[in-house]
Chains A and B, each alone.
Chain A
Amino acid sequence: AQRVTQPEKLLSVFKGAPVELKCNYSYSGSPELFWYVQYSRQRLQLLLRHISRESIKGFTADLNKGETSFHLKKPFAQEEDSAMYYCALHGSSNTGKLIFGQGTTLQVKP
C-alpha cells in the first residue's frame, strides 16, 4: 500500500535552531516525493521535490530509499517558516495523483 507518515503533528523550535520535519513513506516502486507548505491564510504550495535536489528558502530534503524517508531540514529556522508542512508521494506517473501525509505544524518561536 502507498502511504506517507509524518509522525509529528506539531514541532516547536526557537528562531535560529535547526529544524527537521520527518517523513516516511511506503511504496514498492520508485516514488517521487514532495514537500508542500501552507502558510496561514494562504493556499497550499509546492516547497520542493526530491528530483530537483534544490534548496528552497533554506530548506533541503534528501530521499533515503534505504530508510524510505524524505525528511525536510533547515539549519536555522526563521519565524516566517511557521506553517503547516505536508509530505506527499506521487506513486505512479500514469495517474498523477498525490498521497499526502498528515502534516506537521512548524511553530518557530522568537
Chain B
Amino acid sequence: SAVISQKPSRDICQRGTSLTIQCQVDSQVTMMFWYRQQPGQSLTLIATANQGSEATYESGFVIDKFPISRPNLTFSTLTVSNMSPEDSSIYLCSGRRTETQYFGPGTRLLVL
C-alpha cells in the first residue's frame, strides 16, 4: 500500500487569495491525481499530476485556476488560485501503484 499525507488538513481563506496544498507519498507511485469533493457531492477528478511536466486537466478545470506541480515521484502541490466561495470543497490527492489508487486524508477548504 501507499501512505499519503496532505498539508494543510483544513483552512479558512478569504476570497481572492490563493492556497497551495501539498501532497506527500511515502514511496514511489506511478501516477498522482487531484480530486475535488464539493459538499454533498462525489469525487471529481481535477487533473493528473505529471512528473516534471504540465498536469493533464479534466474538462472544466484549467491551469490558471488550479496550477499543479510534481517535481518528483513522491510529491505534488495543487494551488487553488483567486478563490471564491464556490471553491469551498475537500481537495484530495491520490497516488496509483500496482493498479490501485490510494487516497490522502483530504484538505478541507472554506472560502469566505
Contact = CB atoms under 8 A, between A and B. Distances in A.
B42 A98 contact: no
Interface string B84-110: 000000001010100111111110000
- Please classify how large the interface on chain A is, using the bins under 10, 10 to 19, 20 to 34, 35 or more: 10 to 19
A102 B31 CA distance: 23
B42 A86 contact: yes
Question: Could you tell me the dominant secondary structure of chain B's interface residues?
Answer: strand
Interface residues of B, number: 20
Question: Could you tell me the dominant secondary structure of chain A's interface residues?
Answer: strand
Given A95-B48, A96-B96, A100-B42, 18 more contacts: A43-B103, A44-B43, A44-B103, A45-B103, A46-B101, A46-B102, A86-B42, A90-B99, A96-B30, A96-B48, A97-B45, A98-B45, A98-B94, A98-B101, A100-B43, A100-B44, A102-B42, A103-B42
Interface of A: 32, 36, 43-46, 49, 86, 90, 95-103
